[in-house]
């Protein structure tokens, strides 16, 4: 990421890393410092967004699972089935799925 910024590209995104024994989510942005069209340095900003990201993940999890049992709800099941159907299957393998509502 930093190498891309040193090459003149503005780079931003998020990543997850272990920090002091705990997984943390970080948001970053690196902007090249240009002088006469040449990169002379990089300005960078990294923000710990762990709490926000954990809330987002909890909402996603809650939207796909039953609150009482923790099992997949209908939305979670259909999302999972759609992902399975999208997988490439060998021609010599038969598969079937049966759902009842």
pLDDT digits (tens, 9 = 90+) for 18-57: 989 999 999 999 999 999 989 999 999 999 999 999 999 9
Specify the number of domains making up the chain.
2
pLDDT the model gives residue 87: 85
pLDDT the model gives residue 39: 94
Token output for 9? 């590209």
| Domain housing 23 | 2-48
The residues, ordered by sequence, that sit 6+ positions from 8 with a Cβ below 8 Å of its Cβ are: 32, 34, 39
Q: Determine how β-strand 38-48 pairs with β-strand 22-35.
A: antiparallel
**Residue 66 and residue 39 share a domain:** no
**Residue 41 and residue 23 share a domain:** yes
φ, ψ of residue 27 to 5 degrees: the values are -105, 135
Task: Say if residue 99's pLDDT is above 70.
Answer: no
Determine the Cα–Cα distance for residues 24 and 53; give it in Å rounded to an integer: 9
pLDDT band at 8 (very low <50, low <70, confident <90, very high): very high
Please state, for a pLDDT cut of 70, what percent of the chain lies above it. 95
pLDDT in tens, 48-89: 999 999 999 999 989 899 888 989 998 888 888 889 888 887
Contact 65, 77 (CB under 8 A): no
What's the half-sphere exposure (Cβ side, CA atoms, 13 Å) at 53? 13
**Residue 60 and residue 29 share a domain:** no
Token output for 42? 């990089």
């Amino acid at each position: 990421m930093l190498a891309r910024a040193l090459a003149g590209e503005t780079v931003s995104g998020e990543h997850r890393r272990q920090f002091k024994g705990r997984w943390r989510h970080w948001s970053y942005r690196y902007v090249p410092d240009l002088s006469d069209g040449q990169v002379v340095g990089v300005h960078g900003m990294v923000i710990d967004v762990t709490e926000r990201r954990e809330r987002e993940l909890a909402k996603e999890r809650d939207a796909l699972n039953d609150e009482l049992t923790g099992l997949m709800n209908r939305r979670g099941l259909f999302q999972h089935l759609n992902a399975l159907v999208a997988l490439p299957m060998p021609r010599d393998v038969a598969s079937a799925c049966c759902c009842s509502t």
